[in-house]
Amino acid sequence: MSETPIPPAPPEETEQPRRVRAEALTPDRLDPDALKVVQRLGRFGFEAYLVGGCVRDLLLGRSPKDFDVATSARPRQIKRVFRNCRIIGRRFKLAHVVFGDRVVETATFRRRPQGLEEERSDLLITDDNLFGDAAEDARRRDFTINGLFFDPTSGEVIDFVGGLEDLEKGMLRTIGDPWVRFREDPVRILRAIKFASRLGFQLDPAIRQAMGDLAGDIARGAPPRVLEEVYRLMRSGTSLGAFRLLREIGALRVVLPEIEDFLAGEEASPEGRERIELFWRYLEGLDSVVHESGEPPNSLLVATVFVHLVRRESDPARRRSPGPPPQDPGQVVDDVLAPVCLRLRLSRNDAGRARRLCIALKKFLQRPGRRFRPNAFMRQEYFDEALALLRVHCTAEGSSWHVYESWAERRARFDGSGGRVHGRGGAGADEEFRDERPIDAIVEESPEPRPLHPAAPPHGGKRSKRRRRRGRRRGGAPHAPPSSHAASHSPGPSHSPTPSPSPAPASAPPPPRPEPLARDAGGAGWGSDW
């Protein structure tokens, strides 16, 4: 790495950091593997601290998701210290110290590229592979609350940027000019929304103004990073507040223009405003699922947001696309998700599973009367996600809970019996279903009209002739139907005719059917749209 001259630091950067003894950050609250990394690097003479979000969450009384380490050691030096280390990254090298199935991300201190404002008008950072010291590493971070370091050896929190004061006030501020920091990395706008909504912090007025002015620059960010930040907004358990703030600053039109167009188009009528409120209630239902069941998969996040567009495009009266809606529900979902997949690089797996979830929600709520195999449906690998989407729907609609409870109870019995569902009788009540066809092939079956007690085909009919001809081709003896003439000319008295089994009486009752599932007979939410 080429050495570049470092200009003298401004006066505020030469001030000594604030050091505060953190009595609450006891070793039992820290990750033991991260402590091993910090202590071993210290024994080899390197400077090392716990940094970033883990320090912020510990000071707020939260449980950190992961623990990151920043050190003065270079990546190759870290690898020489830890044999269980691998180096990753292309633009900037990171060291992953592996402990079984856990990874402690260890990064070398970095600094901001010098002279960005003077050298060019485009402040977007494309190369920040510059090593520095602890103070420079703290000042190159995005927000003050993320620029705190913790030294486990001394038990002190080291604050170079005023993050402790902002934590006490509940204020979110950038390190430096917010307009410059958001121009350097526009994805920081989404991160600001995430922290403000998840932590309940107030946005500094300067930050809010800069976010509104530079919301359009989010399109310049890498699509995978933008998509991942949107996923994090929805997994945070505060997606309702995050999406409202997204729309308030104008970022929703940049990140998810289809959703912004949907919300803007529904504001003209009272029915549309009810559908807008339903959209917000869906996000509130997603938050309840996150709080009770943990982080949902990406497919559930995509389906929760875009199912409203699928319902609109399935309704001939509200459809925006040209022509009538396709008969295939999957085609409607594909038409809605296609532009999103291209713009945000949505993975094929997530898009395919979200497609199945939208179709499954329709099947949950459709009117009864069609042939349906619930046990084969529950065997699909995405059924639990579909059931979670049904729960989100019931929470938002405030109805159809009997449908969800019926499916949840049947799912519990299905899991408790090892893949067997014990109903109240029937031809499949006590045996395992082996229908492994995809759900599209199962749920689209048409009912076969058949009599309750079909009569046996007459002897000598077309079917009997075909069977006799088939027997001759295979080399077997043709099956001759019994007749009174053949019985009267039987050779010898020793060959007595074998008595034929007595036919079943025509009035025999039909076999009992398996226990039916509760369905949304009124078609609430979906019967009129699909």
Q: How far is CA 212 from the centre of its chain?
A: 28
User: Residue 202 forms beta bridges with which residues?
Assistant: 171
Residue 146, φ and ψ in degrees, nearest 5: -100, 5
Judge whether 127 counts as a catalytic residue. no
DSSP 357: H
Element (H, E) at 20: strand 18-21
**Nearest-10 crossing angle of helices 401-416, 348-365:** 110
What's the CA gap between 195 and 213, in Å, rounded?
Answer: 19
Instruction: Name every residue whose Cβ is closer than 8 Å to that of residue 364 and which is 6 or more positions away in sequence.
Output: 386, 390, 403, 407, 520
Judge whether 142 counts as a catalytic residue. yes
Q: What is each CA distance from 72 to 69, 75, 122, 131, in whole angstroms?
A: 10, 9, 30, 9
HSE-up (13 A, CA, CB side) for residue 304: 35
Which listed residue (28, 33, 57, 68) is catalytic? 68
SS (H, E, C) 189-248: HHHHHHHHHHHCCEECHHHHHHHHHCHHHHHHCCHHHHHHHHHHHHHCCCHHHHHHHHHH
Collapsing DSSP to helix, strand or coil, 437 comes out as: coil
Burial class (CB in 10 A: 0-12, 13-18, 19+), 361: buried
What's the CA gap between 32 and 193, in Å, rounded?
Answer: 31
Whether the CB-CB separation of 205 and 174 falls below 8 Å is answered with no
Judge whether 122 counts as a catalytic residue. no
Collapsing DSSP to helix, strand or coil, 348 comes out as: helix
Amino acid 286 reads: L
What's the CA gap between 113 and 220, in Å, rounded?
Answer: 19
Most distant CA pair in the chain: distance in Å?
Answer: 125
Q: Which of 292, 216, 301 is nearest to 250 (CA)?
A: 216
Q: Which of 161, 159, 157 is nearest to 144 (CA)?
A: 161
Which listed residue (66, 122, 315, 415) is catalytic? 66
Collapsing DSSP to helix, strand or coil, 10 comes out as: coil
Q: Which long-range contacts (CB under 8 A, 24 or more apart) does 420-428 make?
A: 421/375, 421/378, 421/514, 423/514, 423/515, 424/512, 424/514, 424/515, 425/511, 425/512, 425/513, 425/514, 426/511, 426/512, 426/513, 426/514, 427/511, 428/375, 428/514
Q: In the structure encoding, which two tokens stand for residue 250, read together?
A: 């104008």
Which listed residue (31, 137, 142, 287) is catalytic? 142
What's the CA gap between 195 and 236, in Å, rounded?
Answer: 9
Query: Which residues are marked as active site?
Result: 66, 68, 142
